[in-house]
Amino acid sequence: MNDLPLQMMDITSLQAVLADLRKEIVPSRLEKVQQSDNHTLQIGFRTLRDLIWIEICWHADSARIVQIDPPAKISGESTLCKQIKFGTKGMALIELKQNGFERIVEFGLAFRPNENFEKFLVLEIMGRHSNFLLLNESRQVITLGKQVRKNQSRLRPIGTGDKYVPPPPLNGQPPKRSESFEEWKSNLSMLPKTLKEALKDCYQGISPSLSLQLASEEKESAEEFLNLQVQALSQTDWKRLHYRWSKWLKDLERENFCISFSGPSAYRVWKPNLSNDDNYKKISLSLGNYYKNNLEAKKLNHTYKRLSEDIIRIKANEEKSLKTQEELFSKISEIKSLQIQAENILCLNNPTKKQVAQAQKLYNKVKKLKRSKAILMERISYHKERLSFANEIELFLEYIMNNTKENKASKIEDILILKEDIENYLLLKQQKGTKKIKQKKDITNILQLQSPSGLIIQIGRNHHQNELISIRKANKGDIWFHAQESPGSHVVIKASNGKIDQDDLKVGADLAALFSKAKQNKKVSILMVPTNKLKKLKGTAPGMVSPRDSKVLWGYPSNGQKYLEQSTKNA
């Protein structure tokens, strides 16, 4: 999976986005605010044409301001959202500004155009020092994304009620188009260092991604060029670099931006050379989609890795515990030999007191082993059930990650449901009053296919869906399939809706084999039973059922795969 770092929003991309947003949301009324995580706000601005949503984030790794598609409504309201809504009620955005090469964006709000500003929203995009603030007309802090205390920063501590003080000015001098080639070259070659260091130290607004874009169109050659010592550059190298430098400054000055996702960096918003690849669609929305897709991919990767690690650890613990109980159970076979030993002692003509005591000791050991037999069997069953549950979660996790028809956000939600199941039923973390993840996935989200005769086939892809199709939504006449003694999905053919034939049963068995832990086998033993013969085991995790009067069929995973591909080809 993609685990590359995000391209940080630099001054070039920031100015390109603001040029876009000024056309879209100035003027507009601040109408909606919601907080998607601890560092991210989504704000809806009502214009004459539409409700435009922007997202602002002050997280160290992904600080940004972008336009986004209308987001899903977030239940609940954070304190920060309440303060912004109350503080800006009835106000309009009449100014959106950013000065020079500083990455500080200021939203000016007033009740009417041409009136004095009543409130200011300020976004500071400065890596780990990024922040968001709401200021009053006197530029005092009403609320902010994160408090900066004196022990965190002696230079610029800031909290509610403080007078807003801008960050210290950037190092280096601001780039100017009026600067001559010789002056520019002299500045960069003054000290013996790499070109990458010289660009960063001498001028403001030069991010790592911009350095690559200035150097070359290919990443490898750009990195190689930037790592050269400035003294090693030829006059031709300087001329070529200065041409791209001048082009960048010209595009900044004229706000001549485009968006491209090719080149030495993840994206660029200016044109080093005129080409047919230039894209003039909305930069702010394109970058909104870029950050959304990449952040979701990172979150999905992180969530997947964490859950995979939990499953591996739980399985190892359960296998160890199971082995211990099975070893104890194996000692029960000693009962008969112990009894014989005791009887042989007592059958002696004149057993001594010591021998009688020894026989009594053997009888006590036999009684203890007999009592422990039922307990050990219960413990073995308990650990096997937990191990089966963990194996099924591992299987469901594989389904989620391999499902190409589901978006990343839905996959994350599905994985979090599995994570909750682990915590509730394996780690036993769920306490009374603890908030659970809302189960949003209903019957329409379950994988459904058509059998050869036209009946509906339902396939559960997590424990809750298994229970839903097998117990809660099953009707008399429906047929249930599951791999025998192997973790896997429940497969149900809705035979209550019509007449089932032999081909339907064959497909049901093949699909149950495919959606099981034994899918690598050539053929798999499958249990088939009417759903009204299934019993939900009391006190067990979701999807744990006991079948009665089952019939055994052979299922072929390869046939199930072919049928699945054929059924979903045009879906």
pLDDT of residue 429: 63
Tell me the residue type at 537: L
pLDDT of residue 100: 92
Provide the percentage of residues in the chain whose pLDDT is more than 90: 72
Measured distance CA(12)–CA(14) in Å, rounded: 5
How far, rounded to the nearest angstrom, does the alpha carbon of residue 227 sit from its chain's CA centroid?
Answer: 35
Domain boundaries, the chain: 11-144, 181-275, 299-425, 443-568
Q: Which residues of the chain have pLDDT under 50?
A: 1-2, 276-277, 430-435, 437-438, 440-443
The confidence score (pLDDT) of residue 176 equals: 94
Q: Percent of the chain, pLDDT > 70?
A: 94
The pLDDT, as a whole number, for residue 304 is 95
> If you compute the radius of gyration of the chain from its CA atoms, what whole number of angstroms results?
34
- Interval 329-351: pLDDT, tens: 887 767 667 777 777 887 887 88
CB 68 within 8 A of CB 55: yes
Structure tokens at 24: 């879209």
Dihedrals φ, ψ of 76, to 5°? 80, 165
Kindly report the average pLDDT of the chain as a whole number. Answer: 90
Q: What is the pLDDT of residue 274?
A: 54
- For residue 441, what pLDDT is reported? 47
- Per-residue confidence (pLDDT) for residue 297, from 0 to 100: 94
Sheet holding 40-46, edge to edge: 64-68, 51-57, 40-46, 28-37, 92-97, 104-110, 119-124, 131-136, 141-144
CB proximity list for 429: less than 8 A, separation 6 or greater: 423
Edge to edge, what strands does the sheet with 551-555 contain?
A: 447-450, 456-459, 491-493, 479-483, 524-530, 551-555
**Domain 11-144 is found in CATH 3.50.30.30:** no
Q: Which of 20, 208, 200, 174 is nearest to 99 (CA)?
A: 174
Is the torsion defined by CA of 240, 243, 246, 251 positive or negative?
negative
